[in-house]
Chains A and B, each alone.
Chain A
Amino acid sequence: MKEYKILGEKDTRSGFAEGLLEAGRENENVVALCADLTPSVRMDLFAKEFPERFFQTGIAESNMVSIASGMALSGKIAFVGSFAAFSTGRVYDQIRQSVAYSDCNVKIAGSHAGITLGEDGATHQILEDIGLMRMMPNMVVINPCDFNQTKQATLAAARYKGPVYLRYGRPKVPVFMPEDMPFEIGKAITLNEGKDVSLFATGHLVWQALEACKLLEAEGISAEVINIHTIKPLDETAVLESVKKTGCAVSCEEHMYNGGLGDAVAQLLVRNYPAPMEFVGIDDQFGQSGKPMQLMQHYHLMAEDIVIAAKKAIKRK
């Protein structure tokens, strides 16, 4: 398989920080709003360089989202930031009415997404956010895999006109995507070509899928690894072409089975090319406190778990 070199370990939220700063430099209409989590969700670089375009709303996420809507309909490109649990689930109705239905150019930044938030536990570890945002008409849903891709995804979100949900995380994870690789919304990236099974991965699990690919190769199994950074709109062509070649699929995500990438891929396959499929994700339960990697192991989100799922899918062909 193609070798992916680890260029370092960084958190994806820092990729957002750099992307937002660059977007702010690129376009003076970019504004940012935060609900008392500025350093945590990494809006600090933007706030420091553009204090007049940064708005502290206090701990009032509903107000923050709707203010962003008013700014966006007036011509601004408004980023709102909080932990993913609070920037999606807590404000679903505000996003629904004032952002998505009103087609406002608001970018919803969801930091600390998924189980790898770690020690804070289930109240803060949202595992339903991709589903919540995917169900919303007009909403683009992006879950980049590493620092470099998150930075580029943030820039792409700023340049795109319309509502975007940008999901990123807290822990330091391998950086392996090329630094300057442009981000094309809705265009999946094939990281490794294979013929026996398609691994569709998003977010932190893209790296785990690459690791799984190596393990499978050692056992003589050829896996195709596709980085689905945009879950909506889904790159349907990339998914279908891959499964037509390999005959089976595994979805890999730090999210519930319900509503996530797996759901999106399964729906597409059922309608167009039914094939055996397995899911690596979390099955209808809340998370709990723990170290990020402990939790990844506990909830079976590691490369070894992807290997098991891949073999199962292949067996069902």
Chain B
Amino acid sequence: MKSTKELQDIATQVRRDVLRMVNSCQSGHPGGSLGCADLFTALYFNTMNVSPDNFTREGKGEDMFFLSIGHIAPVWYSTLARRGYFPVKELATLRQLGSRLQGHPSYSSKLPGVRAASGSLGQGMSVAIGAALAKKLNGDSNLVYSLHGDGEIEEGQIWEAAMFAGANGVDNLVSIIDNNGVQIDGRCKDVCGVVNLKEKFLSFGWDVLECDGNDMQALLDTLKECKQHAHKGKPVMLVMKTKMGKGVDFMEDNNGWHGKAPNDEQTQNALSQLKETLGDY
């Protein structure tokens, strides 16, 4: 079991990976990726029961994860590589022709760790529900996790899924919302009234927990609590407050960095704020 300090160090390295990856291909989505680095590290290095050496799409006998907001693929790819799903040096191929690291996650490129494509928003909660129902049919007590954006929940399908999961007691599902409050066109609350997330999901029959998604210890504790809430008749939602661009001062809480790659100078500035803890790829 890794200490909180060790996990923080991994998250810092993941942030460096993200920046170097998007800088290298001059495209991609650094903002949300940086904001979720702590969550990915906590999930893959502490919370989830996973088998990186023996990855199977069906995920029998282990926890499963679905990234609904496919655009933050860089943070997922880095975490998967750092966890041992595939060689870290492959991170250098992000978005290149023929790469397994597609701009948005793809099953067809057969990257270990990825089970379904995502990118077109709003579908991942439903996919995760399907995997959770299959686990129930198979008598597999492991959990299914999904990650969503607060902007993403403007998609109607999220609410179809939320209603279904609540009504059917899909209690082996833990969904997480990255509540950074910003989306491409501005503040989520201004774009389409994305407010009162806790109340919304409570009214749909979910158990709802909240935490600071950029505080590793708080994340670890709350994810542990989420597990304890599972298998008790209701799906579990974690509303996680984060900062877009977390860890890089000029990117923090700035929606301009949702889908823009830093240039070389900006990248150097950003990297100078994040210690190389595990060795760059």
Contact = CB atoms under 8 A, between A and B. Distances in A.
Same assembly? yes
Interface stretch (A94-102, A117-125, A161-169, A202-210): A94-102
A57 B156 CA distance: 15
B170 to A, nearest CB: 10
Interface string A50-79: 001101011010110111111111111010
B242 interface: no
Interface in A25-54: 31, 52-53
A71 B106 contact: no
Contact of A72 (B130, B161, B167): B130
A68 B116 CA distance: 12
B67 to A, nearest CB: 13
A101 B123 contact: no
A260 to B, nearest CB: 26
A101 B59 contact: no
A63 B160 contact: yes
B58 interface: yes
A184 interface: no
Contact of B57 (A52, A71, A73): A73
* Chain B binding surface, main DSSP class: helix
B115 interface: yes
Nearest to A59: B160
Contact of B130 (A52, A71, A96): A71
Given A70-B129, A73-B116, A63 B161 contact: yes
Contact of A68 (B66, B130, B135): B130
Contacts of B123: 62, 66, 69, 93-94, 97-98
A69 B130 contact: yes
Interface in B105-127: 106-108, 115-120, 122-124, 126-127
Given A53-B137, A66-B123, A94-B123, A102 B130 contact: no
A75 B132 CA distance: 12
Interface residues of A, number: 31
Contacts of A66: 123-124, 126-127, 130, 157, 161
Contacts of A97: 117-120, 123
Nearest to B161: A63
A2 B60 CA distance: 53
B218 interface: no
B118 to A, nearest CB: 7
B133 interface: yes
B131 A71 contact: yes
Nearest to B70: A97
A104 interface: yes
Contacts of B132: 70
A67 B60 contact: no
B131 A73 contact: yes
A146 interface: no
A67 B126 contact: yes
B192 to A, nearest CB: 18
Contacts of B153: none
Nearest to B56: A75
Interface of B: 57-60, 64, 66, 106-108, 115-120, 122-124, 126-135, 137-138, 156-157, 160-161, 163-164, 167
28 contacts: A53-B137, A57-B160, A57-B164, A58-B167, A60-B160, A62-B122, A62-B126, A63-B157, A63-B161, A63-B164, A65-B126, A66-B127, A67-B164, A69-B116, A70-B116, A70-B127, A70-B130, A70-B134, A71-B131, A73-B115, A74-B135, A94-B123, A96-B120, A98-B123, A98-B126, A102-B107, A102-B108, A102-B117
